[in-house]
Amino acid sequence: MKTETKSRIVVFFLSLLVWILITMVFSIPSLIAGVIMALITAIFAGEMLIITERKFHLKRVWYTIEYLVKFIWELFKANFNVAYIVIHPLLPIKPGIVKVKTKLKRDSALTMLANSITLTPGTLTVDIDVDNQILYVHWIDVKFTDIEQTTEFIGGRFEKLLEEIFE
Amino acid sequence: MPDLAINQIIGYVIICIGVIFDLFGVLGLVRLPDVYNRLQAATKSVTFGSAGILFGVFVYSGFTSMGFKAILCAIFILLTSPVSAHAIAKAAHSAGIKLTDKTVIDLYQEDKELQK
């Protein structure tokens, strides 16, 4: 089966599931409306979900769960960090923009890495240089400016997991 | 005290925590010095706070239509809020908005000047 067709079928069933979950009405007219909406979604935006031919590994599911747990924990820490900075009377900040190198190549992986960096303590992705694989990161409390150390400190937490999930 | 089921009490507690973190985010918007630092507070606290409130709504209402809508909104907030933050930060930097005086380093500016 072609990748595009497969992707459309997955999108169709996912949208139908979302429709059923958000309406929670199990009558025939509602389900027919859901099927029509899911079909429209699958026709217009269906080919974007799955873009590569890859085997489904159970290992990737495990890595995704590990990533989510880590991500939520870091998000939690980030919020206490912001709360501490904001309440502190002297505003203990030392902001700056540093560079982070990355090994990831695919767009989806880079987007997830940038999002993860933004939602973790003290860092915010400003720009990505895709050709040189460099992320520019605004850091509220700059500890080191050397590119090797920043890569280890900021990117290292998620990069390995994202490499396993997306590459 | 009205009769509340246990999930409703937990839901209210989570909503309260979310509101508290939203409050920290707002405080950060007022107190921090420049666009970039304010974005830091806005993305982290407001994302966590708003997603927390929506998760509280899910716990409060359980597996109903309202609960699933809340979860869906929370997922979309978590996915889109960092992206809009990148867009604003990049636009601000391109427009030449200066970083605060406390800034120690700006490698982005240096690289931009190198490319010219």
CA angle in degrees (0–180, nearest 5) for A88-A92-A97: 140
Strand order in the sheet with A134-139: A123-129, A134-139, A96-101, B105-106
Radius of gyration for chain A, computed over Cα atoms and rounded to the nearest angstrom:
21
Mean pLDDT value across chain B: 85
pLDDT digits (tens, 9 = 90+) for A70-106: 888 888 888 888 888 888 888 888 888 888 888 888 8
**Is residue B36 packed enough to be buried (19+ CB in 10 Å), middle (13-18) or exposed (0-12)?**
buried
Q: Residue range A2-25: average pLDDT?
A: 86
| Residue ranges per structural domain of chain A | 3-48, 58-166
Q: What is the mean pLDDT of residues B25-39?
A: 86
A82/B44 CB distance under 8 A: yes
3-class DSSP state of A89: coil
B24, B31, B65: residue with CB nearest A91: B31
- pLDDT tens for A62-74 read 888 888 888 888 8
- Residue A84: strand, helix, or coil: helix
Minimum mean pLDDT among A20-29, B11-20, B52-61: which range? Answer: A20-29
What angle do the packed helices B65-94 and A107-118 form, to 10 degrees? 90
Report whether pLDDT(B53) > 90.
yes
User: CA-to-CA distance for A77 and B52, rounded, in angstroms?
Assistant: 14
Q: For residues B78-86, give the mean pLDDT.
A: 87
First to last CA, chain A: 22
> What does the pLDDT average to over B35-47?
85
> Could you report the predicted ipTM of this complex, rounded to two decimals?
0.77
Nearest CA in chain B to A17: B68
Answer whether B107's CB lies under 8 Å from A150's CB. no
Residue of B17, B44, B48 to mutate for A, most A C-beta atoms under 10 A: B44
- Given a cut of 60, whether residue B1 has pLDDT beyond it is no
Tens digit of each residue's pLDDT (9 = 90 or more) over A33-49: 999 999 999 888 877 77
Chain A: residues touching B (Cβ < 8 Å): 18, 21-25, 75-76, 78-79, 81-83, 85-87, 91, 93-99, 111, 114-115, 118-119, 122-127, 129, 136, 138, 140, 142, 145
CB A97 within 8 Å of CB B55: no
Alpha-carbon distance values, B55 to A8, A17, B19, B58, B75 (Å): 30, 20, 12, 5, 10
Do B93 and A76 make contact, defined as CB atoms within 8 angstroms? no
| Interchain proximity A118–B31, CB inside 8 Å | no
Neighbours of A23 (CB within 10 A): 16
Residue ranges of the domains in chain B? 6-115
The H-or-E segment that residue A99 falls in is strand A96-101
* Residue B34 DSSP class: S
The pLDDT score that the predictor gives to residue B115 is 74
Above 80 in pLDDT, residue B18?
A: yes
Residue percentage of chain B with pLDDT more than 90: 20
Cβ of A75 within 8 Å of Cβ of B111? The answer is no
Question: In this predicted structure, what is the pLDDT of residue B29?
Answer: 87
Q: Determine the distance from the C-alpha atom of residue B66 to the mean position of all C-alpha atoms in its chain, rounded to a whole number.
A: 22
Question: What pLDDT is stored for residue A51 in this prediction?
Answer: 66
pLDDT at B105: 75
What are the tens digits of pLDDT across the range A114-164?
888 888 888 888 888 888 888 888 888 887 777 777 787 777 778 888 887
